[in-house]
Amino acid sequence: MYWFDYTYLIILPAFLFGLYAQMKVSSTFSKYQSVQSSRGVTGAQAARRILDDNGLYDVAVVKISGNLTDNFNPKTRTVSLSDSVYGSTSVAAIGVAAHECGHAVQHATGYTPIKIRSALVPVTNFGSSAGFVILLVGMLFGSYPIAMLGVLLYSLMAVFQAVTLPVEFNASKRALATLEASGMLVGEELKMSRSVLSAAAMTYVAALVSSLATILRLLLIVGSSRRRDR
């Protein structure tokens, strides 16, 4: 089986972990989407209240299509909530809406990790697109330094994902604290919402693990190629 690339065994566990994380967030959200909050507040109403309580009156709350496509856009100053969140009164929807508002508050308060992540976006976009091209050029011409430059550029993606983790965890922490303080969710409802946000956070961990596994695989490929050329 000389044709089998054993380096794929490095990324297989990361792939399976990522698949599990996606299934976990979908199943957890679906489970608690059926649990309606006792206060009867919709995701959109919860978002509007949180934003107003933080003085973010100019941040709009809009509805977008899709499932779990929720996001905060700092350029347009818009919290976009998906079909399953915007008008839903479930504990899952309220938690997701509050999480996205957490990002809006992070930007407003100058939260350092989110400032670093924003600064890394253009660099990461370049590294992820150019890294593999430069790597292939280096491998094609047998240039170890060029190939390693490609790996280094691709590694910027892992740096971005590492910085994303505290941003996402902090947004969820802010969300849960706000929901508890405001009384929009109480008792077991908060625990259910926390489960949804924890499952969502796992997908970011999985993304980082996947990038690290890919980087290790690329390093092994480049190193093996260099040894063969000697």
At 141 the pLDDT is 86
Positions annotated as catalytic residues are: 100
Order of strands, edge to edge, in the sheet holding 60-63? 60-63, 78-81, 71-73
Residues of the chain with pLDDT under 70: 1-4, 226-230
Reported residue count of the chain is: 230
pTM: 0.88
Read off the pLDDT of residues 97-143 as tens digits, 9 standing for 90 and up: 999 999 999 999 999 999 999 999 999 999 988 998 999 999 888 88
What does the block give as tokens for 129? 């697109």
